[in-house]
Structure formats: structure tokens, C-alpha cells
Amino acid sequence: MDTQVLTYIFVGLSFALYIGIAIWSRASSTNEFYIAGKGVHPIANGMATAADWMSAASFISMAGLIAFLGKDGSVYLMGWTGGYVLLALLLAPYLRKFGQYTVPDFIGARYYSNAARLVAVICLIFVSFTYVAGQMRGVGIVFSRFLEVDINLGVIIGMCIVFFYAVLGGMKGITYTQVAQYCVLIFAYLVPAIFISILMTGNPIPQLGFGDTLVNSDVYLLDKLDKVTTELGFNAYTENTKSNIDIFCITAALMFGTAGLPHVIVRFFTVPKVSDARKSAGYALIFIAILYSTAPAVSAFARMNFIDSVQEVQYKEAPSWFKNWENIGLIAWKDKNNDELIQYSSGNALEGLKPNFNNGRGLSGERLVNNNPDLTNSNEVYIDRDIMVLANPEIAQLPGWVVALVAAGALAAALSTAAGLLLVISASISHDLLKKTFMPQITEKQELFYARCSAAVAIFIAGLFGIYPPGFVAQVVAFAFGLAAATIFPALLMGIFYKRLNKEGAIAGMLSGLVITSAYIIYYKFININLNSADNWFLGISPEGFGFIGMIINFAVALIVSYFFSKPPDDVYHMIDKIREP
């Protein structure tokens, strides 16, 4: 059977499984809709959390980014796993003990103020939508490449599936679907990694394989990779190019940002006991670490294989994956020296950020682009980093069923995260905005109805993001993490560990973190893009890392302002005492 048919079968079967689970476990009360009735086993909850956490960015983009960034890419590995430790130790057990439905619930109660709750809701909706936009792009890429359907149709199929199990099933449906999605995605990630590790180093464990010697030689893979990359004019693979302070701040922003991501925090509201919240955080981190420790191995293999299979190869003889990805516009080749050979080295192949294809074909049959070649270097290949994980099995010439499996896995990763985020958005609208702020008189049944409506609207908007992708998806990702770090995380942390913090301090802190971080990112990412380089940055900190500074400002402002206003009321003290008890 060819890869195309296999892909349809794998994706179809996995979708049927998700829908089946959604029907079997649909929600009947607000409690089940928001937090699955608190009846989820810690291991199942751990898997669901892991699927929720690992998005299309983790599955599709991360290893590709690291493949091209080398050691600089460690910020994602440490940032996204290290943030989890903060969440598990500093937030999850206490928020579970507090025992309500949403993150704004906690902020509203702890700071005895609907204004604080509103600020939290705004930050939360912004962070969640930014994140959803990225998932939908992932779904679009997978559908257009592997199922060869129109991207728009692909996004609509994805929307229908998510609609079905998020709107009907609520948290309960999503949790059990995510357990299945975790199994699909981790299997799909590990199988090609193990295959490639055996092919390249003879070691079946990728985590060890990429530190091993190459087959039939006594040269270490990483040493060879360092040598090859430096020869092509890149930085050595295992060395940093960014300054230490920038790497420090980016890692910190990603860590504190992930710890403040609402769709993951809400996971810990779904287990029966506080000790279960701790336990399920532990299981989740194991499940996450399996993928995250494999990712850098995949990156090293992919970079090596990619260079080996295209460097100095005649375009006409180029492998089919090269041309397939060129056909959907994520690879471009410009024969600068007219020798019909592909030359790959450092520097941009083309002027401008992205290739702008026209319908023509060049002398060797390559797609023509309108961009001028960048003649300051000899690199002829444009490659979108997002394709590395998806193309990896084909580059390594693995059988068709592995390629099909990876497609199903990537969809599982994107859909599971999208569903979790949509649920958080719908809960914050129906519960925090309507029930707790504007329409307190509605019954539970009405609230459930509004929750389903807002989930439906949120899915519709997310789908629009996928069909008309905003050109700025990559830029706004810095935003999502930066803002979560600068607003939500400090409010939660101080809410638990510093009793004296009053509502004035908390609101001033969140607002100053929000304003300063957004101003810095908007200035360098949207207004003055030309100035976006290390010389102009404040202390050499890039917009991606500025959320960390925003967070420090938030802490400082909150503490100072708090000092000038009266203490929180006694019942808040009691509440904090209560969540601190064993």
C-alpha cells in the first residue's frame, strides 16, 4: 500500500477512536464539564496533562528548531520542562486544595475583587487564543502535506472533530480523549527516532544514540556534526551563538510562562485529592520527559541526514521528499551558480523572509520564486524549520507506515492541545465572566449551555485563524509565554506564599507586567523591526526573553503598592491558611 492510503487509514482510525471515547464519556453537569467531576485517576490525568502540554509546537516544530539552532535550542527543552517543576511544586497542590473551577476563580477569591478576576480573564483569553492559532497552523501543515487536501478543508475537518468532543464531552470527554491522543503521539514520536538511531549509530535508545559513534566508524555523531556545520559556515552544533544573559532570560520566560499557562493548571483541578494532584504531576512529567529527551536526538539526526542527503546532489536526482515539500512551498531552491547541484550552507538563500513562488519552473524543474537571490552568501536552500520532524522519516528512508504514523501523531498533538485551550476559554467566559461577574442569577443548566456555546464560538474563531493564518503567529508566541510569565504566574505565586499582598498590589503588578512586556515586544516585533537586534535590546535581552523582566517588575510593583494599602480582610487570611494545611 502506498503512504497516502496508509496515512488515510491511520488518521481515520485515530479520529474514530477519539470520537468513540467522546460519546462514551460525555459530560452531564457543569462539574463534569469543567473538571471531569474530579474523578480522574492520577495516571490517566498524567497522560492527559502531557497531551495537553505537548502541542503541535512540541511535536512538529521543536526538534526542527533545535536541529537548526544547535545548543541555542536548549532554551525550549529546559524552558518547557523546567516550568513544569515550578508548576508541580509551587502551584498545583495549593490550587487543587482551593478547589474551584478556574484560574480566575482563584485570583478573584484570593484578591477579593472582580477587577482582579477580569484582568486575569483578559490575560488568559489572550494567551489561550495565541496558543490555539499555532495549533491550527500545525493541523493545516499536516493535512496539506500528507492527505493532499486543501489546507482549509483540513482545518474544517479538525474543527469538527474538536467541536464534537470538546462541546459534548467537556473536560471529562477531553481528558479521556487526551489519554488516547498521548498514546498515539508518543508512539508516533518514538518509532521513527528509534529506527533512525539504529540506522545511524546502531544504538536503539535515541537518548544515548546521539552521544554514540556513527555506524562503522569511531567518530562520535556530535563531533562529526560540529565538523560538518563549521565547514558549511555555521556555528558548531554544540556551541551557543546567543549571549548567556539572553539564553538565561529566554529560558526563564519560557519556564515561568509555562507554569502560568491556564490550560495546564486547570488539569490539577480534576483529580480527587491533593496527594493525587502531586502524583499526577509526577506521572505527567515522566510522560513529557519521554518526548523532550528524545527531541534533541531527533534534531541531531535530522540535521546530519538533511545535510548528507541534499549537499552537492543534482536537483533532478534530489530525493522525493525534497520536491514534495517544495510543492507545498516550505522548501525552495535557487541555483545561484547555475551548476544544477544543490548547495546548502549558512546565510539566507533568498532576500525577504519567505519565498514567494510563481507558477514557473526553472531549467532543472525547480519551482521559481519572485524573490531575488541573496548574493552575499552561496546558500541555495530555503527550508522551513517546521517540516523537519514530519520529513525526518522520509529523509531517513523509513517505510511508509512510519510516515503515516507521524502524521497521525502530529494531529493528535495539535488537537489535544487545541481542545484543552478551547475548554479553558469557554470556562472563563461562561463561568468567570457570566456566572461570577455579570449574570450571577443563571442556573447550572443555563451555565452549561453558555459554556457549550462559548466553546463553539471559540472553535469557530480558532478555525478562522487556521484558514486565514495571521502572518504573525511566530511573533505572537513570544507574547503568549511572556505575558503568562509577567501576569498570571506572579499573581498565583504571591497569592499562595505571601499573605499580606492585597488587591491593589496584585492588580497594579499584573497591569504593569502586562503593559511593559507588551510594549517591549510590540516595539521590537511590530513597530521597529529593523532595530530588533542584540545591540539595541535592553541589557541584550531579546523580546522572547523579556517576559522574565516583566515578571520581576510585576513582583516589585505588587510588593511596593501593597505596602501603601490596607491588609487583605480576615477571611482571605483564613482561606490561605486553609490551602496551606496538609
Partner 1 sequence: MKQNYWRSNLKILSILISVWFIVSFGFGIIWSDFLDQFQIGGFKLGFWFAQQGSIYFFVLLVFVYIHLMNKLDKKYKNDSEGDH
Residues at the site binding partner 1, with contacts judged by CB under 8 A: 66, 71, 73-74, 77-78, 81-82, 84-86, 88-90, 93, 207-208, 210-213, 220-223, 238-240, 244, 247-248, 251-252, 255, 275, 278-279, 281-282, 285-286, 289, 292-293, 296, 577, 580-582
CB atoms within 10 A of CB 224: 16
- Give me 528's grid cell: 521597529
What's the closest the beta carbon of residue 211 comes to partner 1, in angstroms? 4
Please name every residue paired with 332 in a beta bridge, in sequence order, or none if there are none: 382
Specify the residue, 211 or 365, whose C-beta has the smaller distance to partner 1: 211
512 near 573, Cβ under 8 Å?
no
Looking at beta carbons only, is 54 or 349 nearer to partner 1? 54
Considering the complex, state which of residue 82 and residue 319 has its C-beta at the smaller distance from partner 1. 82
Are 12 and 147 within 8 A, CB to CB? no
Question: Which is nearer to partner 1, 90 or 456 (by Cβ)?
Answer: 90
Residue 569 Cβ, how far from partner 1 at the closest point, in Å?
Answer: 20
Which parts of 311-399 fold into alpha helices (H)?
Answer: 320-327, 388-395
Cα torsion angle, 181, 183, 186, 190, sign: negative
Shortest separation between residue 236's beta carbon and partner 1, angstroms: 10
Closest listed residue to residue 268, CA positions, set 407, 402, 98: 98
Q: Which residues pair with 369 in a beta bridge?
A: 357
The C-alpha cell at 460 is: 469557530
Instruction: Kindly state the smallest distance separating residue 262's Cβ from partner 1, in Å.
Output: 20
Q: Which is nearer to partner 1, 72 or 432 (CB)?
A: 72
Shortest distance in whole angstroms from residue 77 CB to partner 1 = 6
**Nine cell digits for residue 274:** 491533593
Measured from the CB of residue 290, what is the shortest distance to partner 1 in angstroms? 10
Report how far apart, in Å, the C-alpha atoms of 537 and of each of 57, 72, 412, 490 are: 26, 18, 38, 24
Q: Report yes or no: 120 and 492 within 8 Å, Cβ to Cβ.
A: no
The nearer residue to partner 1, 165 or 489, going by C-beta atoms, is 489
Looking at the Cβ atoms of 284 and 558, the one nearer to partner 1 is 284
Shortest CB 230 distance to partner 1, Å: 15
Closer to partner 1 by CB, 11 or 250: give it: 250
Residue 204: CB minimum distance to partner 1, A:
15
CB of 4 to partner 1, least distance (A): 35
Nearer to partner 1 by Cβ, of 8 and 220: the residue is 220
Report CA-CA distances (Å) from 193 to 79, 106, 219, 398, 407. Answer: 22, 41, 20, 11, 14
As a whole number of angstroms, the distance between CA 53 and CA 47 comes to: 10
Query: For the chain, how far is it from start to end, CA to CA, in angstroms?
Result: 58
Cβ of residue 299: shortest distance to partner 1, in angstroms?
Answer: 9
- Find how far residue 219's CA is from the centre of its chain: 35
DSSP per-residue codes, 187-241: HHHHHHHHHHHHHHHS-S-HHHHTTSBPTTSSSBHHHHHHHHHHHTTSPPTTS--
CB nearer to partner 1: give 248 or 523: 248
State the Cα–Cα distance between residues 230 and 434, nearest whole angstrom: 58
| Residue with cell string 493535512 | 143
Local structure of residue 267 (DSSP, 8 states)? G
In the complex, the smallest distance separating the C-beta of residue 350 from partner 1, rounded to whole angstroms, is 31
Answer yes or no: are the C-beta atoms of 542 and 482 closer than 8 Å.
no
Instruction: Please give the full DSSP string across 450-473, using - where no structure is assigned.
Output: HHHHHHHHHHHHHHHHHHS--TTH
**Cβ distance to partner 1 smaller for residue 411 or 492:** 492
